[in-house]
Chains A and B, each alone.
Chain A
Amino acid sequence: GAGVSQSPSNKVTEKGKDVELRCDPISGHTALYWYRQSLGQGLEFLIYFQGNSAPDKSGLPSDRFSAERTGGSVSTLTIQRTQQEDSAVYLCASSFDPGRDIQYFGAGTRLSVL
């Protein structure tokens, strides 16, 4: 596609349920990033993929969070046993060259945990 695509755009779930968030990067972009934007916290890095490998997972807040990327393309961010503090907008970005290139962002998934 022309841009980074994320689905769903909105997700409402109950505390304790698992959720999966999907990101389709721009075709040909080898680098993929997940960020989280919470009220009062700003934008925080979660994880970075180069191809299917994740050399930097330093931003994942707990072991309830995991992510994978397959075929060097689509990525899924999974949150297990969701908590209310997981409520945020989850943003995905991709770039052609992780070293120097602009990161292009999707519109995000707004997650609300009740």
Chain B
Amino acid sequence: KQEVTQIPAALSVPEGENLVLNCSFTDSAIYNLQWFRQDPGKGLTSLLLIQSSQREQTSGRLNASLDKSSGRSTLYIAASQPGDSATYLCAVRKYGNKLVFGAGTILRVKS
């Protein structure tokens, strides 16, 4: 059974810091990995999707890496801003098209 773990569970940083969120998964046979953000009371917004054949994806201040063999992904946020405060979720897609989610990292960026 695929399990996804995210560390840390919560993180509080001052504005301007670079930070790293970690995601690990137990079964390396995945099709892709997706990072989402969720704001309170809202749905999920997709940030980055990394196919199993890729090593990383970048979008603006966000960079996600994937090491399938070791079952790890990291989301790097550069020059964090208060608007980045949200819950960040990592999800892997294995067979059957469903996503298996981690519990998330709650990020707070203080101004």
Q: Contact check, A107 vs B42: say whether CB atoms are below 8 A apart.
A: yes
Interface residue tally for chain B (C-beta within 8 Å): 23
Q: Contact check, B46 vs A107: say whether CB atoms are below 8 A apart.
A: no
Q: Contact check, B99 vs A103: say whether CB atoms are below 8 A apart.
A: yes
Q: Contact check, A91 vs B43: say whether CB atoms are below 8 A apart.
A: yes
Q: Is B60 an interface residue (CB 8 A)?
A: no
Known: A42-B102, A100-B51. Is A56-B43 also a contact (CB below 8 A)?
no
Q: Is A98 an interface residue (CB 8 A)?
A: yes
Query: Given the complex, which residues of A lie within 8 Å of B46, measured CB to CB?
Result: 102-105
CA A103 to CA B43, docked complex, whole Å: 12
Query: Given the complex, which residues of A lie within 8 Å of B103, measured CB to CB?
Result: 42
Query: Given the complex, which residues of A lie within 8 Å of B51, measured CB to CB?
Result: 100
| Shortest beta-carbon distance from B105 to chain A in Å | 12
Centre residue among B51, B96, B98 by max chain A CB count within 10 A:
B98
Q: Is B22 an interface residue (CB 8 A)?
A: no
Interface residue tally for chain A (C-beta within 8 Å): 26
Known: A102-B34, A102-B46, A108-B43. Is A43-B97 also a contact (CB below 8 A)?
no
Known: A42-B104, A100-B51, A102-B49. Is A31-B97 also a contact (CB below 8 A)?
yes
Question: Restricting to B70-111, which residues have a CB under 8 Å from any CB of A?
Answer: 89, 91, 96-104
Query: Given the complex, which residues of A lie within 8 Å of B104, measured CB to CB?
Result: 42
A55 — nearest CB in chain B belongs to which residue? B96
CA A17 to CA B97, docked complex, whole Å: 31
Q: Is B44 an interface residue (CB 8 A)?
A: yes
Q: Contact check, A99 vs B34: say whether CB atoms are below 8 A apart.
A: no
Q: Is B32 an interface residue (CB 8 A)?
A: yes
Question: B42-57: contact bitstring with A at CB < 8 Å (1 yes, 0 no)?
Answer: 1111100101000000
